[in-house]
A and B are shown apart, each in its own frame.
Chain A
C-alpha cells in the first residue's frame, strides 16, 4: 500500500535501521489504514443499507435473513413520487431557501455592526444572539402555536420561514462576524482613503473577501432548516407540511412499507448530504459557530 517514494529517502539516509523501521512502519501503517477503512465503512453502513433497501421490493426489504443480493428496482422511488412527495419537497424548498436568504440579508449588516464598525455593547449583543440559540424550542412552542392560531397562520409555509429565519439568524451573525473580523484593517483603511462609503466598501471590498464565509453560513442554515422537524410537526398540517413530515406520514399512515420509506428517506436526505459533502471544509467552522477555523 505504501508507495515506494516513501522509503527511498529513508534508505539513503540511514541504511539498516531505517529500512527495518520503515518496513515495520509500512506494515503498521497499512494495518491502520485497513482498520480505518473498516471503521469508516461500518459507521457508514446504516446509510448504505438504507440506499440498498430503497432499490428493493417490499418483500425483499423486510426479510429475515436480510437479502444482500437482488435485482434493483426503481418502483419505490416511483411510488414515493406518486404519493405526492412533490408538494412536501416544494414546501421544504421554500422554507429552506427563503429563510436562508432572509438570514443572510439580516445577518450580514448585523455582523458588520458587530465587527467592522462596532456598536457600543458589541459583547452584550453577541451574548444575546447566542443565548437565544440555547433557549429550548419546546419552551416557546405553545405560545407560538397559540399566536399563530390567532393570526390564522397555522399550516402556512411562511410561518415556518419566519421561525427558521429566527432559528438560524444567531448562528449566521456569529459566523459572519468571525469572517469580517479576519478582514485586515489595512484593506478597510485603503478603501476609506479611496473615498469609498460604507455601502461601497461593503459591496466592492468586504463581500468579495468574505464570499467563502457567506457560502459556509448559508450551508449551515440550509442543513438546519431542511432537517427541522419539531416546528413543522406542530405548526403544519396538509398544506404546509415539509419533507420530514412526509417521511413520518409514509411511516404511519399506510402501515410499514420499508422499501418505500427508505426511498423517501434517501430523497429527503439527498440535498443536505450532497451539500455537506461538497462543502466539507466549511462545515467545521459552521458547526462551531465560527470559533474553529
Chain B
C-alpha cells in the first residue's frame, strides 16, 4: 500500500510531466477539485464566516441591554477581560478541568484496557459495560451524577460513605470542580480505554513472546515494551480528549451552573453566561477569540500527531 506521501509525489510527478499542456492540466485540476468543493465551501461558510463576525464583535462595545453601546473600541475588550478576575478564574478552571479529566481518565483507561486485554469469560460483556458511559447522553450523565449519585440527602455516594461512618457531604456545592470531574472522568474513561486497548492489541505478539522467553516479568514487559508501544495511542487519546474536554459545557451547566458564584465556571460556560445572560456581546466575543488562540496551541500539537499517525500507518 502506498503511503500518503508517495501518492502525493506520484500525483505531483504526473502533473509535472503534463505541465506543457496547461489547459488540459487546468481542466484536470478542476475535475479533481469538483467533488471536494461542496464540502469545502459548506465548511468555510458555516464555521469560518461566524468566526470573522466574532473577531469583529470583539472590537465593539456591544451590549444588547444598552442601545447606545455598539461602537468600535479597538482592543479595549481584551484589556477588560484580562483585568476581570472571574475570567482568569474561569481560564484556570478550564485548564484544571481539562488536565484533571484527561489525566485521570487516561490512567483509568489504561488500567481498564489492560484488564480487558486478555481472554476471559464474558470479556465482550465487560467491554460493553465499560464503554457505556461514553454512549450515555452527556446531559443524562450529568443528571445521574448530580442527583442520583451526589445529592446530599438521597445520593448513593453519601449513603456509601455513610456505611463506613463518614458524614454526608453536599458535593456539588462544597466540591463543585471535583463533582464535575467525577462526571467527566466517568464519561471520558471509555474513550481513552478504547484507544489504549487498540494499542495493546496492535502489539506485535512475537516481541511479547521474546520478552517472556527472556524471563521478563509482567511489570518489566509492561514498562519497557508495552508503554513505549502505547505512546502514540496515549498521545492521541490525550490530545483528542483535551480538544473535546476543553469545550465542556453540559456537565457544568447542569451540575453546578458554574457555581457557587463562579467557582466552577470554565471558559465556555462563562462566555455563555456573559453572552446569553449578561448580553455583553463585545466582551463575550473577545473571550471567544482568546479561547480560540489558546486552543490553537493544543490543536497544533494534536494535528501534528494525527498527521504523523497517518503517515506511518498507511
Binding site for B on A (CB under 8 A): 1, 29, 32-33, 35-37, 39-41, 43-44, 46-47, 49-50, 53, 62-66, 106-107, 109-110, 112-115, 117-120, 122-123, 125-147, 162-163, 165-166, 169-170, 173, 178, 181-182, 184-185, 223, 226-227, 229-230, 233-234, 243-244, 247-248, 251, 256, 258, 261-262, 265, 268-269, 272-273, 275-277, 280, 283-284, 287-289, 291-293
Contact = CB atoms under 8 A, between A and B. Distances in A.
A247 B191 contact: no
What 7 A-B pairs come out closest when comparing CB atoms? A139-B288, A109-B35, A143-B53, A265-B140, A110-B39, A113-B36, A166-B46
A65 B267 CA distance: 38
Contacts of A227: 137-139
Contacts of A40: 125-126, 129-130
Contacts of A39: 112, 115
B194 interface: yes
B198 A265 contact: no
6 contacts: A113-B35, A166-B46, A184-B1, A230-B272, A258-B147, A293-B313
Contacts of B54: 139-140, 142-143
Interface stretch (B78-86, B169-177, B221-229, B239-247): B239-247
Contacts of A170: 43
B178 to A, nearest CB: 16
B132 interface: yes
B120 to A, nearest CB: 4
Contacts of A112: 35
B27 interface: no
Contacts of B46: 162-163, 165-166
A230 B42 contact: no
B248 to A, nearest CB: 10
A244 B120 contact: no
Nearest to A261: B143
B233 A36 contact: no
